[in-house]
A and B are shown apart, each in its own frame.
Chain A
Amino acid sequence: MPSLNYAAPTTVDEAVKLLAGASGLAKVLAGGTDLLVQLRSGRMRPDLIVDTKKIPGIIGISGSAGTGFTIGAATPGAVIEANEALKKAWPGVVEAMDLIGSTQIQGRASLAGNLCNASPAADSVPALYAAGAIAVIVGPNGKREVPVEQVPTAPGRTSLAKGEFILEFKLPPRPAYSGDAYLRFIPRTEMDIAVVGCGINVTLDAKGTCTAARVSLGAVAPTVLLVDAAAKTLIGHTLDDATLKALDAAAQAVCKPINDKRGTIEYRTKVAGVLARRVAAIAFDRALGKAGATTH
């Protein structure tokens, strides 16, 4: 009978050595909320599990809005949710992470796990893409930094080489009049995988005209999308009806979803447009300092 090995290294080097040197399939264990489900169902049959949680710095949040935040890769959602400074500067990133699963899932799930599981419907990923986050990757060839959107390549696949894992994420410094937001559509009020997810990050000028924007859509293609065309509908404009209409159309145009048990092609495409409008409204409001909470 196959046996499963487990190691909990206490340094980056030790972890890299274990992952790079594994003779069979080695999987990183952060929060385990995807990995353990896959283990139990037999979808994943690794030979080695490398628990990274004991590596210094892999759990924790540092930095500030002005200098940029650094978030340890294995930081649980509950810790992210509790960080007031992060929540104030990046409410979209925090609410996206917070939407993953239940309170119990939040006690363990991490940004790195969500990203590297590479599901097109992952909740935190569109917000991370929209934020312009950087993934700090460590591996046998040392450290490298890549934009997060370069990590997932296909459902369940990433660009990480053997022996590599994410150590932390960096969020860029926050200019004034910036705001981000994330919404997803699910059939219930909680506990569902996103049928569509949308993250938008904008910077405005003092009058409310958009000077920079990133728009990301989840669950409408094999990977989460960064939608340049949608961002272009915002840049140089205020969020008036014409802009909203153009944004909706640009969001719908880029959708290449599938029919599955969570949504049809037609439905996902329409709702992508709906969410893009709603998310943009919240992001713009936040950028202008208006109180506008996302209720669930």
Chain B
Amino acid sequence: MNYITSDLKVVGSRPIRPDGVEKVTGRAQFGADMRMAGMLWGKVLRSPHAHAKIVSIDTSAAEKLPGVKAVVTSKDFPHIANEEAFVGEGPMNFRDLSRNCLAWDKALYEGHAIAAVAATSQAIADAAIELIDVKYEVLPYVIDVEDAMADDAPVLHDDLFSAGVDPKPAKPSNIAKVVTFKKGDAEAGFKDADVVVEGRYTTKAVHQAYIEPHACLCSYNADGQVMIYSSSQGHFMVRAYCSKLLGIDLANIRAVPLEIGGGFGGKTLVYLEPVAIALSKKAGRPVKMQMTRDEVFRASGPTSGATVEVKLGAKKDGSIVAAKQVLKYQAGAFPGSPIGPGCMCGFAMYDIPNVDVVGYDVVSNRPKVAAYRAPGAPISSWAVECAMDDLARKLGKDPIELREQNGARNGTKTHYGPTHQNIGFLETLKAAKNHPHWKAPLKPGQGRGIACGFWFNIGGESTAGCHIAEDGTVVATSGNPDIGGSRASIGMMVAEVLGVPADRVRTIIPDTSSINFSFLTGGSRVTFATGMAATQAAERVVEDLKRRAAQVWEIPVEAVEWKDGKAYPAGSNAGAFEPLDLATLALKAGRTGGPIGSEVSVNAQGAGPGFGCHICDVEVDHETGAVKILRYTAIQDVGKAIHPSYVEGQIQGGATQGIGWALNEEYIYDAKGKMDNSGFLDYRVPVASDVPMIEAVMVEVPNPRHPFGARGVGEVPIIPPMAAVGNAICGATGLRLYDLPMSPPKVRAALDAVAPKMAAE
């Protein structure tokens, strides 16, 4: 059923989220908050070297320390062959995942896990780690992506031969994969162009920087059954990955989803759980592990640093005739950067006849890249959206109008294959053009920039349930950890279908043994796919309730209608019966067929892509290079905002992460390839005083494939900010900056380069 044109009573309103009170009172249980009797504390020994052969590991002294109950290395994990599965927005290689959790023969980055202990106190665990004697043969390391591609670069894996290259290379290298997307003839297109702009852009590795470090509590019982309490973006993923890595049957693992303190893609895989389970198995006791902030930075999954070369060619009238991009992304220690999406997203917003995109997935001695909110796209759009701005200037065109002229619309074929359907890009641009921010006056020293973003959003396998308790109140179940308010939106969709107020529905997230499989929380898919399953579950319950009412009234089921939480006879011919509400029908459940409830699993197709357009005003201090964000408006096509406050929240949060990426966030390395700024003091995320209010404007072009018209919203908002800020700086100073982050020393240096007279004051 489809409610897109219906009069909605709950969807679109702003009720208090069902898990809200426990979160504002500190009662909600996050990954590190669980305790079990007899639990041990686990701790990981990590490589101090960016690249080294592990010659030997001697754990004997650690094992002898009183209070130490188990020590593990990769020898305690089964040996896994190369095996890939497509998960989330990228492939997962389980051999690589295993040796990322505990290294095999090589330490591939500073912070790489080498061994782990479980002991009766944190202090003893810390002391035991220091007693493990590892002999390393230190190797030359390489981190920067282009350095890693050089012929003489130290090679990380001697069995890695570049895929996507013909003929297959004879020698191993750090280039894991080359991908290409071609449409038309870009060479010819550029010859035909009146105006050409090009640029070489770079980005540094950045971290998702969720405030909650990874944590888990695992208990391996003597009969081989395992309890996992952890926070993650997918407890079925946790179960599956632990099963794979340790060779345990899925049904023997019960993964309980604790509240998650931020993920943004960085918790779509496991680091600690397999290790904790192995320790628990050896020790015969539950094992608790939590990462320190330092470990989160050194040893989880920051995104790629990259270089992106972009070239655009247009006719005098503004139509873009050719576009080219060469992208080189760091993958970290093992292959698998988001190079694919990076290649696809940069030009996806535009209708360009001739496109040539080449992308390189390159390993280097830094942590394995994990997903970070629209993986690959922010880096790609940083370059393309700055180039679009340069093109607009060169053509003398308004930057929004240039995008409108070349913008993708329904029927536009992308350069990577699919044809856009039911998209809202032009509507988003129109809303930006008509927004008062676009026309507000600027003072001297201030500048304004706009930039756009695109993300596919995904659907996939989801399960949700709707259960009517004996008193007629409603429990909705979701197979997906809630990272942004999905309990609220799922409950609201169920409430809408049932015709009851939002607060009559309580949404919970059952563990992996208590609900059918649901794919992880990511790809902006939960409101779409799990929401679809929840809506269908509620609809089945409504059909069942109508059947029961029909049975009670002894009339045909076609003569019953359901409205506002009650069964009614459909018209006076059906009979003069008093309506039956949920409570009454629930009371009669035993006599009308038994308990009332439904669980639905879907493989949701038709996720609607999202487009965003951000407007940013900055002020630049020419003497210090400091950039102040004065005003920020983020416009996005959201399809249908189920709970507008949480949709706005996604937009505001993503925009702020992008602002941090634009201005100050970066991985800084010392001369030994070790991270120099592994804490929140020098890894500089935006603080409350760094940003103004962020106006989130929700444009609603419904996605007809979702019952309420929803599109995924979480990932799009991180894509435009870097170029929006860069274009605003250009507006304020006349200078194009090419390297992220645009921190004060860089801005000051760029200003000095063009006005040496002014600097010598």
Contacts and interface: CB of A to CB of B under 8 A. Distances in A.
Interface of A: 1, 41, 185, 187-193, 195, 245, 248, 260-264, 266-267, 270-271, 273-274, 296
B624 interface: yes
9 contacts: A185-B744, A187-B743, A190-B687, A261-B676, A263-B745, A267-B744, A267-B749, A274-B623, A274-B624
Contacts of B123: 1
A176 B689 CA distance: 36
Nearest to B680: A191
Given A188-B664, A189-B689, A264 B761 contact: no
A284 to B, nearest CB: 19
A270 B625 CA distance: 11
Given A191-B681, A193-B681, A270-B623, 5 more contacts: A185-B624, A187-B663, A188-B684, A261-B677, A267-B749
B745 A264 contact: yes
A5 to B, nearest CB: 15
A260 B681 CA distance: 14
Contacts of B626: 185, 187
A41 B294 CA distance: 9
B92 interface: no
B678 to A, nearest CB: 10
B127 interface: yes
A94 to B, nearest CB: 19
Contacts of B687: 188-191
Interface residues of B, number: 28
Contacts of B187: none
A1 B681 CA distance: 30
Interface string B617-632: 0000001111000000
A125 to B, nearest CB: 18
B62 interface: no
A230 to B, nearest CB: 15
Nearest to B685: A188
A73 B219 CA distance: 50
Given A1-B127, A261-B668, A270-B748, A190 B761 contact: no
Contacts of B400: none
Nearest to B124: A1
A270 B759 contact: yes
A157 to B, nearest CB: 21
A92 B340 CA distance: 54
A280 to B, nearest CB: 14
Contacts of B663: 187
Q: Which of A187, A195, A264, A267 is the most central at the interface, judged by chain B CB atoms within 10 Å of its CB?
A: A187
A176 B745 CA distance: 39
B690 interface: yes
Interface string B94-124: 0000000000000000000000000000011
B664 A267 contact: no
A267 B761 contact: no
A104 to B, nearest CB: 13
A187 B627 CA distance: 9
B684 A190 contact: no
A267 B745 contact: yes
Interface string B681-695: 110101101100000
Contacts of B744: 185, 187, 195, 267
Contacts of A187: 626, 663-664, 684, 743-744
